[in-house]
C-alpha cells in the first residue's frame, strides 16, 4: 500500500501536536511493515522543517528530518508536477495541487492529511489520520 503523508501530518509527528500526533505516528510506523510504503514530497519536508525549527531549533529539526527520511520516501515534485498543478483548473490552491500530483505520480493510494477538504479535486482517496485506520 502506497501512502502519501501531507505536511500537516509530518508536522504533527515532529512537533508532537495533538490530536493528530498519535495517529500520524502510528501511520509513520507502518513504513517498517511489509507491504506499506510511505511517501511525502520535498515540499512537505520544507514545510515540516520550517515548523520544526520554530519549535525545536535547527539542530533538533535536522535530527527529526533525518529520522523521517530514514523511513519515508520522497516523491518527485518537479517541473512535471508543477505544470500539472498549474493546469488543474478545478484546484484553487497551487500547493495542494503540487502535493496531489506528487502523490499521484508516485502511485499513492491514499493521501493522509488533516485538511481533507483542501483536496476536493483528488482522484486519490483522501483521509484524515484517524480515519485511515478504518481502511486497513
Q: pLDDT (tens digit, 9 = 90+) per residue, 66-87?
A: 999 999 999 999 999 999 999 9
Is it the case that residue 136 has pLDDT exceeding 90? no
Q: Which pLDDT score, from 0 to 100, does residue 45 have?
A: 96
CA distances from 2 to 27, 54, 59, 134 (A): 12, 30, 30, 16
d(CA 38, CA 54): 25
Q: What is the CATH number of the domain that holds 8?
A: 3.40.50.1010
pTM of the model: 0.94
**Domain assignment of residue 136, yes or no:** no
Domain encompassing residue 74:
2-130
The answer to the question of residue 9 being in a domain is yes
Mean pLDDT, residues 97-104? 97
Q: Would you say residue 135 lies in a domain?
A: no
Total domains in the fold of the chain: 1
With respect to residue 85, please indicate whether it lies within any of the assigned structural domains: yes
Amino acid at each position: 500500500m502506497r501512502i502519501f503523508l501531507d505536511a500537516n501530518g509530518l508536522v504533527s509527528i515532529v512537533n508532537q501536536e495533538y490530536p493528530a500526533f498519535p495517529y500520524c505516528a502510528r501511520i509513520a510506523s507502518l513504513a517498517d511493515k511489509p507491504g506499506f510504503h510511505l511517501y511525502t514530497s520535498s515540499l512537505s519536508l520544507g514545510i515540516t522543517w520550517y515548523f520544526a525549527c520554530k519549535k525545536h531549533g535547527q539542530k533538533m529539526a535536522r535530527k527529526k528530518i533525518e529520522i523521517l527520511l530514514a523511513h519515508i520516501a520522497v516523491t518527485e515534485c518537479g517541473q512535471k508536477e508543477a505544470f500539472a498543478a498549474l493546469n488543474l483548473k478545478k484546484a484553487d490552491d497551487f500547493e495542494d495541487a503540487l502535493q496531489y500530483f506528487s502523490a499521484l505520480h508516485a502511485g499513492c493510494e491514499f493521501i493522509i492529511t488533516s485538511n481533507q477538504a483542501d483536496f476536493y479535486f483528488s482522484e486519490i482517496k483522501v483521509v484524515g489520520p484517524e480515519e485511515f485506520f478504518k481502511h486497513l
